[in-house]
Amino acid sequence: METLSAFPSPPWPNPNPNPNPNPPSAVADSSSSERFDSDSVSSVDPTGLSPAVEPPASQPSLLHLSFNQDHGCFAAGTDRGFRIYNCDPFREIFRRDFDRGGGVGVVEMLFRCNILALVGGGPDPQYPPNKVMIWDDHQSRCIGELSFRSAVRGVRLQRDRIIVILEQKVFVYNFADLKLLHQIETIANPKGLCAVSQLSTSLVLVCPGLQKGQVRVEHYASRRTKFIMAHDSRIACFALTTNGQLLATASTKGTLVRIFNTFDGNLLQEVRRGADRAEIYSLAFSSTAQWLAVSSDKGTVHVFSLKVNSGSLGNDMTHQNDSSLSVAPSGSSFSFIKGVLPKYFKSEWSVAQFRLHEGSQYVVAFGHQKNTVVILGMDGSFYRCQFDSVNGGEMTQLEYHNFLMPEEAF
């Protein structure tokens, strides 16, 4: 299969290919997507840029960071364009830097294929912030465009669905013809919070509800809607397992993280990040749902052990019964005086931690290597760390890069 490559780069087309403010929707041919593999990345010569193109003298400003669906790659939107990186091994594998403007505020990948969703951002956006541009880099052209009356806050991609998040609405489109399938109203959602499962057989979508602290879960295969009152405060962050069975939520208070069964809304486990308030930036389940990682503005990434017996994460949830998700017995040494100690002392704390710069924004995911996490910072930092699953404690740093440095530095 062909790989995405910016060496050399085909010319980028007119950023507004349809000047008509209400153009007909282009057909997104998802069958044209081609995968790029990390194995083929090593064959790309990072010095293969045209001699006439000089790398910028200064680092761009980051506007967006996100992992792809399997956490094997991540995308960075900058004030000059966007870049795609491989996580293991770490490598920049693709970039687009524009001559004029070029700000990209949202870059959403579709696994490892050549299809991307782009939204303009920053002080000089490459595209209007109220449009989602579906870009096929294999064809070097835009194959779809979605326009809205207000700014796009986020985009999520699934193999056959495009989910667009606005301030107070979520739209679900069919990928093949960009036909609108579902529209959901939400409470004010400036962060564009939304999570979708990645099993092709059943789509589970989570978004804020219409009340403070509430999340809405859509099970499209079974046509069920579930509302969960997750917190008393506003929702700050949430994450789904790959199959959509488990949901982790955090509020703007940032002290507790709760894990729910999405099918019946039952609270399965509660873990404590800390005692003082914090802004939770990201939550991530491991592929087996054995671990949960949390990053916040306190500068520490926590890894928690989950005691949820969720079975195989590859199972379809269409016929799932409520008894398949349960909580394993807690091994707390305080269990014999349960109900006597204050709740703070009975909390489940993280088993492993990694210290970062306090105040910086980081997103986290589990690596493909056993017991590893990958941490991305809005300052351009890339960390790979390993935790001891038995003894816990401080994680070991395995790798560090500044991914905004000129590519010759790699």
DSSP 346-397: GPBPPSEEEE--TTS-EEEEE-SSTTEEEEEETTSEEEEEE--TTT-EEPEE
Q: Once rounded to an integer, what is the mean pLDDT over residues 91-96?
A: 88
Altogether, the residues listed in the chain come to a count of 410
Cα 379 off chain centre by: 18
Which structural domain, as residue segments, surrounds residue 84? 59-152
In a domain, residue 236? The reply is no
Examine residue 123 and say whether the peptide bond preceding it is cis (omega within 30 degrees of 0). Answer: no
CA distance 69 to 152: 20
- List residues bridging with 203 in a β-sheet: none
Q: Once rounded to an integer, what is the mean pLDDT over residues 70-95?
A: 92
CA distance 176 to 304: 39
Question: Which of 244-248, 337-341, 397-401 is predicted with the least confidence, judged by mean pLDDT?
Answer: 337-341
Check residues 3 and 94 and name the one with the higher pLDDT: 94
Question: Which of 44-53, 243-252, 391-400 is predicted with the least confidence, judged by mean pLDDT?
Answer: 44-53
Apex 23 CA angle, 17 and 26, nearest 5: 75
Start-to-end CA distance of the chain, whole Å, equals 25
Examine residue 89 and say whether the peptide bond preceding it is cis (omega within 30 degrees of 0). Answer: yes
In a domain, residue 391? The reply is no
**311-344 pLDDT, tens digit each:** 544 444 444 444 455 554 444 433 444 444 445 4
Check residues 10 and 119 and name the one with the higher pLDDT: 119
Q: What is the pLDDT of residue 308?
A: 77
Q: What CA–CA distances, in Å, run from 151 to 128, 178, 373? A: 8, 19, 33
Check residues 357 and 410 and name the one with the higher pLDDT: 357
CA distance 241 to 261: 11
In a domain, residue 402? The reply is no
CA distance 244 to 195: 9
Q: What is the pLDDT of residue 136?
A: 85
In a domain, residue 71? The reply is yes
**249-299 pLDDT, tens digit each:** 999 998 899 999 999 999 999 999 877 888 899 999 999 999 999 999 988
- Residue 241: pLDDT above 90? yes
In a domain, residue 83? The reply is yes
Extract the tokens encoding 89.
Answer: 């091994």
Nearest one of 260, 259, 217, 209 to 235, comparing CA atoms: 209
Secondary structure (3-state) at 324: helix
CA distance 224 to 3: 39
**Confidence class of residue 46 from pLDDT cuts 50, 70 and 90?**
very low
Contact 153, 164 (CB under 8 A): no
At 117, which amino acid appears?
A: A
In a domain, residue 141? The reply is yes
In a domain, residue 103? The reply is yes
The number of folded domains in the chain is: 1
CA distance 84 to 68: 10
Q: What is the pLDDT of residue 406?
A: 66
Where are the strands (E) in 68-130, listed by range?
73-78, 81-86, 91-97, 104-109, 115-120
Q: What is the pLDDT of residue 346?
A: 52
Q: What CA–CA distances, in Å, run from 376 to 199, 234, 282, 312? A: 25, 25, 11, 29
**140-160 pLDDT, tens digit each:** 677 889 999 999 999 999 888
- Residue 170: pLDDT above 50? yes
In degrees and rounded to multiples of 5, residue 369 shows phi and psi of -80, 150
Q: What is the pLDDT of residue 65?
A: 95
CATH number for the domain that contains residue 130: 2.40.10
In a domain, residue 385? The reply is no
The percent of the chain in helix, strand and coil, each rounded to the nearest 5, is: 5, 40, 55
- Residue 24: pLDDT above 80? no
- Mean pLDDT taken over the chain: 79
Where are the strands (E) in 286-337, listed by range?
291-296, 300-305, 308-309, 326-327
* % of residues, the chain, pLDDT over 90: 56
Q: What CA–CA distances, in Å, run from 250 to 247, 333, 358? A: 10, 26, 19
Apex 292 CA angle, 286 and 295, nearest 5: 115
